[in-house]
Amino acid sequence: MLFVNVISTIILAGSVAAIPLRVPLPQSKRDVNPALVPSFGWQSGVNPDGTGNCDGAVNGSNGKPILVPCQCPPNSTFFLANLNKNVAAGFVTTNPTVKLSFPTDNSTASQLARLNAAAVTLQNLEGPGVGCPISSTTFSAQGKAISAETSTNGSSSATPPLTSTAASSTPVPSGSFSAISTAAADCGVPTNTSVTSTAVPTSVSSTNTSVSPTDEQIATLAPPLGWQAGINPDGTGNCDGAVNGTNGKPILIPCQCPPDQTHYIANLTANIRAGHVILNPTVQLTFPTDNSTASQNARLNAAAVTIQNLNGAGKGCPIVATTFSAQQKAINAESTS
């Protein structure tokens, strides 16, 4: 995940006796150029099913559109206002551990960075992990096209996959996760479009220079998934998730989510050793072993970006296939009590 330092501008105003001085008004960081903002490539409200879900822009493993909340993607004016705030801050203002940048050149890395900024903004519009899933857009396809163009042109450098905190299929109800990019993922365990948090990725260096936890510590401290796959299948490949939507009913997830514990821990361990999500390298993570609030949240973030990118960038399971959001609320509530 790219990190951007927040720049604060201090305007010093003074008065000089005989010489009037024009003091410039404080200037805010310039808004992003709308022409550079990735388009959603989809509109909200397509083929409503009467339960608040509509067709998304991405098909699941069953060949049918992944369902998304009918209000997704959002109004472009609302989205752009949020993107401007986040770019000015250098992180998602509603989920501060998720860093972003918005470079303006046309390099592959910069185009993917802009896609990531758009993706994490989308996924955290109303709060940590409370927004619209990546599958309500064509961001994932756009990322593939950008990377394919680079490889076609013979670029020797590997291009980082679109990263954001994950491809989702449904947003998490409000009040949900904070350092994690939430949303339901594509299906078939497609979740890593990281276009996160993410998520949600914590600010961490990809080189993992601190003492690395042992395999036993990882297995012991890994946040429990808190849910099992295959609950209440609807016959179309979807099952009940661990989180209820705004209609009071469980948000649907791919029936193979969450993954089994062995697969989950093996992938989490590999990512921790690398200091980033191996299948989505721009998403960085850490796994501190102390019991501070920050460390517990960092471990939740590591777990979240791992399951969201199990099979590739943006191809995995959504956060709503777990109780990670509720776990984070409990951790933060305990720290403030």
CA-closest candidate to residue 142, choices 196, 195, 205: 195
pLDDT tens-digit map of 169-182: 333 332 233 334 33
Spatial distance between the Cα atoms of 198 and 121, rounded to a whole number of angstroms = 10
Tell whether omega for the bond before 73 is within 30 degrees of 0, i.e. cis: yes
- Residue 76 makes CB contacts below 8 A (sequence gap 6+) with 40
Three-class HEC string of 166-205:
CCCCCCCCCCCCCCCCCCCCCCCCCCCCCCCCCCCCCCCC
Q: What is the pTM (predicted TM-score) of this model?
A: 0.51
* C-beta separation of 177 from 277 below 8 A: no
pLDDT tens figures, 182-238:
333 333 333 333 333 333 333 333 333 357 899 999 999 999 999 999 999 988 888
**How does residue 151 score in pLDDT terms, banded at 50, 70 and 90?**
low
Q: Are the CB atoms for 180 and 199 separated by under 8 Å?
A: yes
CB 33 within 8 A of CB 204: no
CA separation for the pair 328, 297 (Å, rounded):
7
Greater pLDDT, 330 or 173? 330
Plot region of 35 (φ>0 → left; ψ -120 to 50 → alpha; else → beta): alpha
* Residue 28: both structure tokens together: 């805010």
**Residue 186 pLDDT:** 39
Give the span between the Cα atoms of 159 and 162, in whole angstroms. Answer: 9
pLDDT in tens, 266-315: 999 999 999 999 988 878 899 999 999 999 999 999 999 899 889 887 78
Interval 226-250: pLDDT, tens: 999 999 998 888 899 998 887 888 9
